Amino acid sequence: MEFSHKPVLLEETIKGLHIKENGIYIDGTLGGAGHSKQILKQLSPKGLLIGIDRDEDALKAARENLKEFSNVKYIHGNHDELEDILQTIGIEKVDGILLDLGVSSYQLDEKARGFSYLGNNELDMRMDKTQKLTAKEVINTYSEEKLAQIIYEYGEERFSRQIAKNICNLRKNKQIETTEELVNIIEKSIPSFAKKDGHPAKRTFQAIRIEVNNEIKPIENTIRTCIKHLKNGGRLCVITFHSLEDRAVKNAYIEAEGKCTCPKDLPYCVCGAKSEGKIINKKPIIATEEEQKENSRSKSAKLRIFEKN
């Protein structure tokens, strides 16, 4: 299947990066390389793009999509491991970093990967197919309390407790192995009056996917690591698709910008607040109405930009 992924907020992101033609840039979520291709078009042969992705299928597709460019370094890894990746390739500082968080359109459409609640496939949901934890293990081994918490926090599903209870009741007799089995449990757990807002399994599948791929917990540390490895004037652009992701990015930016906590009547700062840079847009940039009509995935997208001192 072709790894087609329409990059969201493309123009806004490229503008936000302030690309220097001889600079070094990182796409920490390479995917189908839609954003990266536009970055490379603005780079000279002396510039360099480092493309990182945890999905080997994405890397394969990106190599094909970017075959006309020779100044690309492909890395199978996780952007949460940026410190180690840069140390391994001998680069300390870069001119810009892009993170496009969340699951790609390809991963959702490739039903055999188990991300989609449509069809009947094995419960997997791993972005990196070499990792051990799968959706099947989460569904069949996590306690009822932990399942309910994940589904509520990561999926914002108000019927999380009933869904978790029914999952645990069913798995007493038989292991839950397929997406269809999980969908059936969810549909029976949600009352009919609450099924008007999209597919009833959407929120639970999102929550399990986030847990399997550990998408939320490392974000703030990853953002701080990215800022640490930017050159002065370098920019970090982060696109999120979930309120928890956006909140984590926002908090990390505020912390990095630094804020004096001294009483206002003091003549000078004594709290030792230090700033690593500035937040470029206090409010997140969202897709235009036109883009939202053309690409439904862009409706929840938010772009936040930070510039290093």
DSSP string of 46-75, one letter each residue: T-EEEEEES-HHHHHHHHHHTTT-SSEEEE
pLDDT at position 37: 98
Q: What is the mean pLDDT of residues 140-165?
A: 97
Task: Report percent pLDDT > 90 for the chain.
Answer: 83
- The answer, yes or no, to whether residue 56 has pLDDT greater than 50, is yes
Q: What is the mean pLDDT of residues 233-245?
A: 96
Task: Report percent pLDDT > 70 for the chain.
Answer: 96
pLDDT confidence bin for 261, thresholds 50/70/90: confident
In 209-227, which positions are buried (b, 16+ CB within 10 angstroms) versus exposed (e)? Answer: bbbbbebbeebbebbebbb
The upper half-sphere exposure of residue 45, i.e. CA atoms within 13 Å in the direction of its Cβ, equals 2
- Helix, strand or coil for residue 123? coil
Tell me if the pTM is above 0.85.
Answer: yes
pLDDT confidence bin for 155, thresholds 50/70/90: very high
Q: What is the mean pLDDT of residues 121-137?
A: 95
Q: How far is 29 from 269, CA to CA, in rounded Å?
A: 39
Give the CATH fold of the 113-212 domain. DNA polymerase; domain 1 (1.10.150)
Among the ranges given (23-32, 102-111, 124-133, 183-192), the one the predictor scored with the smallest mean pLDDT: 102-111
pLDDT confidence bin for 1, thresholds 50/70/90: very low
pLDDT at position 178: 97
**Where along the chain do its domains lie?**
10-102+216-308, 113-212
- The answer, yes or no, to whether residue 13 has pLDDT greater than 80, is yes
List Cβ neighbours of 286 (8 Å cut-off, separation of 6 or more): 9, 301, 302, 303
Strand order from edge to edge, sheet including 48-53: 72-76, 48-53, 24-27, 94-100, 230-240, 302-308, 277-279
pLDDT at position 106: 65
CATH-assigned architecture of domain 10-102+216-308:
3-Layer(aba) Sandwich (3.40)
- What are the CA-CA distances from residue 179 to residues 60, 293, 306 (Å)? 26, 29, 39
- The answer, yes or no, to whether residue 297 has pLDDT greater than 80, is yes
Average pLDDT over all residues of the chain: 93
Nearest to 57 by CA among 112, 139, 121: 112
- The answer, yes or no, to whether residue 173 has pLDDT greater than 70, is yes
